Amino acid sequence: MQPAIASLICGIGIAGLFFLDRGEKTRVSMALVIPAVWMLLNTTHPLSFWLGMSNQGSYTTEAYVEGNPFDRNVFLVLQLAALIVLCRKSAKVGAMLRKNPLILVYFSFCLVSVLWSDFPFVTFKRWIKALGDVQMVLVILVELDPFAALRCILTRMGFFLFPLSILFIRFYPQIGRRPTNGWTLEPVGVTQQKNELGIMCMIYGIFFLWMLLSVYRERKRPGRWRRMLAYGTIIAMSAYLLSQCNSTTSIVGFASSAGVLWLASRRPVRPALVHFAVLAVLGLSVIALFFDPGGGLVQSLGKDPTLTGRKDIWALVLSLHTNPLIGTGFETFWLGSRLEFMLHALVNLPINEAHNGWIEVYLNLGWAGLCFVALLIVTGYKRIISHIRQDPEKGCLFLGFLVCALFYSFSEAGFRYGTVSWFFLLLVIIGASQAVSLAKSHRPGPLRPADIASYEKPAYSTQAPAYSLAE
């Protein structure tokens, strides 16, 4: 089939998905365009790539420090626009931040790391950009119906990203596939590398699975079957893309998160059973990665027991003996002599991440940073469980997001700013704080997919591409 014909069919298919999902008039503001663009660029490629302006392939310290000025300015404009929106809703924003002091303390610690960083100005610039993830989460959550706002963004992005990924992989390999060090082409779809395609499929797959289950349970809802068809199509596309990229982490993570989501959504709620399922899923992963010297558990999944060289990378970066308490400074480990060492130690394998979220945090922020991240996760989990006790149909979605983010961070740097997993982790922590505080005032009656995480009644009446190891 000619690429032009395939593109036409893809366009018709995307229009068909929107047609099947028609009917619900979700009232959201135009401000959602800002986080939608932010999420789109962080999920796919920087804008310079789509405009043919990027200069990929340079992994020197200078290139990694400076980045692309055009993309930097694009993200800065988005952050300024988000700041304007948040200033207009300062009362809501202030209330949310007061419920999340730990996030404020964590980002303050990241800023203070400028004092001991070898590259203080780089640390400061990256800290400014890292604030963008928090800003975009807040823009979504200050909407009158935050869950409807999130649903609006994710459904529309999913209807575009998944069909386009298949189109690019099958008919535009110069975009949808990327050469590897083994002289093969790995499928990446709209993302920059296959592990990013995997986390996209995990997160969006869990969201559309939740949508499918929610609509299925609403027997008398108009247009129920056509919506189920639309959401089921995206889930099928997600499964297909996971099989193409063959990312074991994402495949197992999606299956585990889906099981936990389903279990947490059942009535009557059994928190003890949910705790057991989460601990079992994450515990087995930790045992397989760090406490199974022979690699038998990993091999049972058809995976290299060294995790395609990840264990060698972990040993190398830890052998550099960074400051164990406070690290090298926020997002500056992969600079200067340390980057040069890793480039020489791993010949023909440019790399700028530790391929483990916890080790990545340790290298940059030490044990102090690890404690902050762990406390953030525990806080988010406790809030989600509290919400599940009162509203399992909503709370289970955030639990699914949390498990996806944690699972992905075992083999990728999932706690870095600008990543899909980190964005959704912040969304879970801040959004769940709103859900718990408003749980007693939620509307009675059957739930709809438009009712997500929290619902705030208005007070008035109103109308960096980085190479990653192949898995």
Confidence at residue 436, expressed as pLDDT on a 0 to 100 scale:
53
Tokens at 54, concatenated: 């990027």
CB 135 within 8 A of CB 83: yes
pLDDT tens-place string over residues 242-263: 988 877 788 888 998 999 998 8
CB 259 within 8 A of CB 210: no
Between CA 470 and CA 185 the distance in angstroms is 11
CA-based nearest residue to 454, from 468, 442, 471, 470: 442
CA-based nearest residue to 247, from 191, 326, 292, 172: 191
The pTM of the full predicted model, rounded to 2 decimals, is: 0.87
CA-based nearest residue to 453, from 98, 140, 100, 86: 140
pLDDT tens-place string over residues 201-239: 999 999 999 999 988 888 777 788 899 999 999 999 999
Tokens at 348, concatenated: 């023909």
CB 248 within 8 A of CB 301: yes
Between CA 150 and CA 69 the distance in angstroms is 30
Q: Which H helix or E strand runs over 248?
A: helix 248-265
Classify 181 as helix, strand or coil: coil
Please compute the mean of the pLDDT values over residues 350-372 and round it to a whole number: 92
Rounded to a whole number of angstroms, the distance between the first and last alpha carbons of the chain is 30
pLDDT score of 457 more than 80: no
pLDDT score of 200 more than 80: yes
Q: Name beta bridge partners: 179.
A: 185
In the numeric block, the tokens 């990924």 are attached to: 165
As a whole number, the mean pLDDT across the chain is 84
Q: What residues does each domain of the chain span?
A: 3-441
pLDDT tens-place string over residues 161-189: 999 999 999 999 999 998 876 677 889 99
Gyration radius from the chain CA atoms: 22
Give 434: exposed, middle or buried? Use CB within 10 Å, 0-12, 13-18, 19+.
Answer: buried
Q: Is 247 or 89 the better-scoring residue by pLDDT?
A: 89
CB 397 within 8 A of CB 207: yes
Residues composing the chain: 471
CB 323 within 8 A of CB 349: no
Please compute the mean of the pLDDT values over residues 356-363 and round it to a whole number: 94
DSSP class of 430: H
Between CA 198 and CA 405 the distance in angstroms is 12
Classify 185 as helix, strand or coil: strand
Between CA 361 and CA 359 the distance in angstroms is 5
Tokens at 72, concatenated: 């930097």
